[in-house]
Structure 1
Amino acid sequence: MRYGPAVRRRKLGAELRRQRELTGMTSREAACAVGWHQSKVSRIETGSSGVKPADVTRLLDVYRVSDPELRALLGALCGAGSKDAEGSRRGWWYAYRDLLPSAYLDFISLESEASHARTLETTVVPGLLQTPDYARAVTRAALGEPPARQVEELVRVRMARQAVLGGSRPLQLCAVLDEAVLRHEVGSPEVMAGQLRHLLERGSLPHVRLHVLPFTSGNHIGITGPFVIFSFPRIADLDVVVLDHLTSSLYLERKEDLRAYASAFTTLRAHALSHEKTLEYIAGISDGA
């Protein structure tokens, strides 16, 4: 399996190589410009070793990359975020590193920097659209009644993730939901009623699009399981597909995989209800709940 950190290293390395080539510099010339051995530049560009945010900054300076958005994105791929007590740059999720698996931490970091997310869900509401009560019930079911403190910390993380749907540049989210997501009772009738109302509220946001696949749509390619496609501003080659499993996440980055899943999502969306009809559908289920 290819886990997140390796995915980020390869994506970052490939883009740094592209920026170097745009300047016409060789890897030896780039290494000389920053006072490194050529092998260090090669390891960074192939993703075979990690790279510090400060080193990325030095390379971008040498390559004369001035675009602040591009610099911020590439910095995020090497783990840059807010500063911790030691002055290292970390994302908010770093505080939960003892609680969360590394694959989940990396998923959050990708989600926080993505500009668009396309997701298929077949059993539960996407985490970015869950209410605290729903998230609490899902967490208990998934982990087999863990300690209450652990549940609350995991719910807190899930709620913190939802900040990507706010701000001046919110994540553009398009979610295709199997009807089972709406019909399967999670927690209690009251929890589900609250969750359906929340979906209607989230669905009213201009950057959130929901599409329900009714049971009547029959068999479709979505029955193979849920997935998420993250896309990043301006750099299509950074896109990645994430397949969630019970104990891990599988990251797909080959262009043929990306094309296959992008095509699958387009097909699923074509079989699903429109966003407007989806909201009507959810409202009808909510009224009958």
Structure 2
Amino acid sequence: MRIERGGLTQREVLAKTKIKVSVSVYSRIENGETRIDKPAVVEVLLDALGVRPGPRRQELLQLANDASVEGWASSVRTRAGSAYREAVPDSMLRLTSLEERAARQLIIDNNVIPGVLQTPRYREVVTGKTLLASQRTLAPRIIEVRGLRADRFAARLPRSTLFIQRSALYADFGQPAMMVEQLPVLLDHMDDMGSPVAIRVMTVEDPLALQVTSLIRLSFEKGAFAAPDVIYTEAGGRAEFHRGPIAGEEAASDYLDYQDLSDLVIKQAPGPIPSRDLIVEALEWHRARL
């Protein structure tokens, strides 16, 4: 959210609120670069900025309350203290919170079937094969958290388009039976005319050319205080978030790069019928190897 300070300086606002943060931290709050976790802080800021009781103030307070609600992954993280803390990094907390509120999402994965549509068997095998060496002891807990994420997705089914690299349809890790179980899950969505989940198979080699293994683009309902789009990327075990512009603001260059990249993938990917044919072809190949 953005509120005009009028003639007040940032120092004057802080003096009025008695909030113990530096001017630079407050500047990041004002520019939407730092999250405010406590709605009470927002109320103090509104008082200092002279936002009087009324519909506008109430809407801003409601927005603050909505934004402060933690995602389901937060409760998992504290379930057994530190046992789950490493399995649920801050990036997962933020991603799951955003996913819960997104009206639409676009998922591009270079190497595997996206996690939200993985079967339990596929998830267990792929997680074990793709984790960094330092994370392997966490595998059981990571698999559990990823399964919970898939369950939440299945229960809500937000409008989504998933882009899967063709080579991922053939990567069975020595278990063709696993793929014979996994690929029909994709076909079920493609054959269900009422499913809000669309699937496209990418045939261009290395479509995510910026050394990114996966990308998720999240869009939110538009309204008086619409949240900007967010792009989440993973590369080499490192996760990053890239915020889109809000009204009157120029988009950051990294966000524009990933927006252009995802737009290019959308244009290059085959349509639903060719994509379905590619999945069927891969399924038949795996069945022949049983």
Matched, 1:159 2:115: no
Q: For residue 45 of structure 1, what is the aligned residue in structure 2?
A: 30
**One-letter identity of the residue aligned with 2:38:** P
Matched, 1:242 2:228: no
Q: Structure 1 residues 280, 102: closer, same or farther in 2, change over 3 A?
A: same
Asked whether the equivalents of residues 134 and 186 of structure 1 are also in contact (C-alpha less than 8 Å), the reply is no
Q: CA deviation at 1:182?
A: 0.7
Q: For residue 256 of structure 1, what is the aligned residue in structure 2?
A: 253
Q: For residue 6 of structure 1, what is the aligned residue in structure 2?
A: none
- Compare CA radii of gyration and give the structure with the larger one: 2
RMSD: 3.6
Q: For residue 94 of structure 1, what is the aligned residue in structure 2?
A: 77
**One-letter identity of the residue aligned with 1:106:** R
Q: For residue 200 of structure 2, what is the aligned residue in structure 1?
A: 211
Once the two structures are superposed, residues 23-58 of structure 1 have per-residue CA deviations (whole angstroms, 9 ceiling, x without a partner) of: 969568976886758958546325676633233552
**One-letter identity of the residue aligned with 2:144:** R
Q: For residue 273 of structure 1, what is the aligned residue in structure 2?
A: 270
3-state SS of 1:91 partner: helix
Q: For residue 247 of structure 2, what is the aligned residue in structure 1?
A: none
Q: Structure 1 residues 270, 209: closer, same or farther in 2, change over 3 A?
A: same
Asked whether the equivalents of residues 180 and 283 of structure 2 are also in contact (C-alpha less than 8 Å), the reply is yes
Q: CA deviation at 1:190?
A: 1.0
Once the two structures are superposed, residues 181-235 of structure 1 have per-residue CA deviations (whole angstroms, 9 ceiling, x without a partner) of: 1112235111111111122234436221111123xx5x56434433222223326
Q: For residue 248 of structure 2, what is the aligned residue in structure 1?
A: none
Relative contact order (C-alpha < 8 Å, sep 6+): which is higher? Answer: 1
Matched, 1:179 2:185: no
**One-letter identity of the residue aligned with 1:227:** L
Q: TM-score, normalised by structure 2?
A: 0.70
Identity %: 23
Q: For residue 284 of structure 2, what is the aligned residue in structure 1?
A: 287
Matched, 1:54 2:54: no
Asked whether the equivalents of residues 93 and 108 of structure 1 are also in contact (C-alpha less than 8 Å), the reply is no
Q: TM-score, normalised by structure 1?
A: 0.70
3-state SS of 2:217 partner: strand
Matched, 1:188 2:175: yes
3-state SS of 1:64 partner: helix
Question: Using the alignment, how far apart are the partners of 2:147 and 2:14 within structure 1?
Answer: 43
Structure in which a larger fraction of residues adopt helix: 1
Q: Structure 1 residues 56, 129: closer, same or farther in 2, change over 3 A?
A: farther
Moved more, 251-260 or 58-67: 58-67
Asked whether the equivalents of residues 30 and 41 of structure 1 are also in contact (C-alpha less than 8 Å), the reply is no
Asked whether the equivalents of residues 244 and 250 of structure 1 are also in contact (C-alpha less than 8 Å), the reply is yes
Question: Using the alignment, how far apart are the partners of 1:233 and 1:276 within structure 2?
Answer: 30
Q: Would you say how many aligned residue pairs link Structure 1 and Structure 2? A: 255
3-state SS of 1:173 partner: strand
Q: CA deviation at 1:137?
A: 0.8
**One-letter identity of the residue aligned with 1:287:** E
